[in-house]
Every structure is written in structure tokens, then in C-alpha cells.
Structure 1
């Protein structure tokens, strides 16, 4: 806008509705790139490890880093502990129940009460 119209920086920022500090701000270089790659590598090798175990592994390797920083990078990379798959039951062929042929052939007991009638 300034180049096309020749107005001052203060006026251009006022018209655009942004702060002058935003206009002159230079972003810092990403210092987390190396740590981020290390976390992703560890998470791919150890799929069952969460950010806490990865933080402990980084500490053992001599990388002293805050656990909150590890958590932030872990979540930014959309990493999470993989859900375990449910083990299906053993596939045994089911047999139909055998029906009794005569009365009093099969008996069953029901233990609802644990007292005798006289007590």
C-alpha cells in the first residue's frame, strides 16, 4: 500500500488496522527443528511410548529439555500412543445345547438365598 500510494508507514498501518511493531517484526528461526525430528524418530521406533517416556529417553541421551516443551512438540506433530487392537476370542465352533428327552433328566440349582427356611 505504501509503495503504490506513497503514504507514511504510520498512516498505512492505521488504515490497515495493524500495529507498527507487527509491520517491522522479523520472525525468529525455528530452534525446535532438530528436537522435533528427534521426537518424531523416537515415536516412530517406539509406537507405544508417550511423550513422558520419550522425554525420559531424551534425558538419558543427554538432551536436557523441559517436559512441557516435549509435550508441545509431540502434540504439534499429531503424535499419540497407538490404540491397542482388541484380541478376538478363540474361534471355537459352537454346538447347540442338548435338549433333555424325558422329565427329571436334567436338574439345576439356583443359589439366590444362602439361608435355610427355619433360620
Structure 2
């Protein structure tokens, strides 16, 4: 089968890229059919699930001055010099 051969040559290709290559080779094939054939033969890739970004959710309430400080960093690149400037707030 052509799909299995392409999948062996390119194991990280999904059904969309396989379908595009088949069309490039002159085959008239629907992406749904390629998906179904790959699913039946267990050739589909596992879905890549992005991990959620962790963000600081808790609100800090200072009880005295200078208890909570933040810093902004700026990095400036020139030809031969790298300068990092921090601003304390």
C-alpha cells in the first residue's frame, strides 16, 4: 500500500502531509479517505497536547513598605557589546 510505504519512509508525517504527497504524485484522493485508512492501520500520530503555561495567580498584599519588589530587565545588543539594564520598582 502506498500510504504505508510513505509512512515508513517518513514516520513523523501526519495524514495531511501524506495526502499532499499522494496528490503531488498525481493520485486523486480525499484527505478523509487517507485519514480513515491510516486510522484503520494504526498509522496516525498521537496528538501533541500543549502544556498550559503556569502563571502566578495569587495576589500579594504587602503589609509594610518595600515588602514586594519587582524588576524589569532590558537587554540591548550592539556590535560587540551586550548591556543589561535592570530597573527596580
Flag structure 2 segments of 5+ consecutive residues without an equivalent: 48-66, 71-89
- Measured on the aligned residues, the alpha-carbon RMSD in Å equals 2.5
TM-superposed deviation, 1:80: 2.2
Count of residues in Structure 1 that have an aligned counterpart in Structure 2: 53
| The one of 39, 49, 52 aligned to 1:75 | 39
Q: Which runs of 5+ in 1 are unaligned?
A: 1-36, 84-110, 115-119
Larger Rg: 1
Q: Which position in structure 1 is the counterpart of 2:5?
A: 41
Preserved contact between residue 51 and residue 74 of structure 1 (Cα < 8 Å): yes
Q: So what's the TM-score if we normalise by structure 2?
A: 0.52
Query: What CA distance in whole angstroms lies between the structure 1 residues aligned with 2:40 and 2:22?
Result: 18
Q: Distance in 2 between matches of 1:44 and 1:62?
A: 20
8 Å Cα contact 1:48/1:82 also seen in 2 = no
